[in-house]
Amino acid sequence: MRSGSKQVRLPRLLICVARMQLLVIGLLFSATLIIENYAGTTCIVTEVAALQQDSKKCSVLHLNTYLDQRLVKQGKFFDFIKNIGEYSMFMLRKSNLSRITDLDVIKLHHGAQVSITQNELLAKLPKFEWKRGDRITFTVADNPNLDTTKLLKDVKARKMKNAHIQLPFGEFSATVVSSASQRYHDMIAGNQQISNEPPRSFG
């Protein structure tokens, strides 16, 4: 009887072990999904074909219209980018947009590049947020209808250097300023200084 009892218990033990293994695998799989969801999905938009992606699944935008200028002429272009709340890169040139997003705030990732140039109808920017110490590059120039007052104040408040941002409404459309320095105040006073330096990262 004892021998038979051991034979019955052994399969039960194996079944319990198998169930535990499945439970552990399930937990690990769930954890993996959580990590993926937390990290989000980055959508890279550097050519017209990329607009075929489902933008509702994009949590981070990597945009470069410099590589394919046809992007800004596409009817679905704004609809694609308007609700994505985080940028790893945002390079927009020669669009006919009056705004770049329907959101009030955009989060910038460490190392993000923001270049917004030659957009004649652009009038409004969202508030850009990033973590202290992150390296961000800003180039905002030649946008004649764009009010950059808030952006200049935000960058200046962070005491950031070499953020190349035009004055509000492009008073000096060929001039970009290091808004963290006295140059901003000099330009407001009419003593503009022209910078031909390329944009550099700051943190």
pLDDT in tens, the chain (203 residues): 555 555 555 566 666 665 666 554 544 443 333 334 344 799 999 999 999 999 999 999 999 999 999 999 999 999 999 999 999 999 999 999 999 999 999 999 999 999 999 999 999 999 999 998 899 999 999 999 999 999 999 998 888 776 899 999 976 544 455 544 444 444 433 434 333 344 444 44
- Whether residue 69 is found in the same domain as residue 5: no
Q: Is residue 203 part of a domain?
A: no
Q: Is residue 66 part of a domain?
A: yes
- Whether residue 4 is found in the same domain as residue 80: no
Q: Is residue 197 part of a domain?
A: no
Q: Is residue 195 part of a domain?
A: no
Question: Is the pTM of the predicted complex or chain greater than 0.75?
Answer: no
- Whether residue 5 is found in the same domain as residue 47: no
- Whether residue 117 is found in the same domain as residue 80: yes
What's the Cα-to-Cα distance from 98 to each of 45, 60, 103, 138, 203, rounded to whole Å? 20, 22, 14, 19, 29
Q: Is residue 48 part of a domain?
A: yes
Q: What residues make up the domain containing 160? A: 40-188
Instruction: Show contacts of 163-172: CB within 8 Å, 24+ apart.
Output: 163/138, 163/202, 164/138, 164/139, 164/140, 164/195, 164/197, 164/199, 165/138, 165/139, 165/140, 165/141, 166/140, 166/141, 166/142, 169/144, 169/145, 170/141, 170/142, 170/143, 170/144, 170/145, 170/146
- Whether residue 35 is found in the same domain as residue 54: no
- Whether residue 13 is found in the same domain as residue 72: no
Domain count, the chain: 2
- Whether residue 7 is found in the same domain as residue 88: no
- Whether residue 1 is found in the same domain as residue 86: no
Q: Is residue 199 part of a domain?
A: no
- Whether residue 26 is found in the same domain as residue 72: no
Q: Are 71 and 51 in contact (CB under 8 A)?
A: yes
Q: Is residue 174 part of a domain?
A: yes
- Whether residue 17 is found in the same domain as residue 85: no
Burial 148-186 (b: 16+ CB within 10 A, else e): beebbeebbebebebbbbbbeebeebebbbbbbbebbee
- Whether residue 49 is found in the same domain as residue 25: no
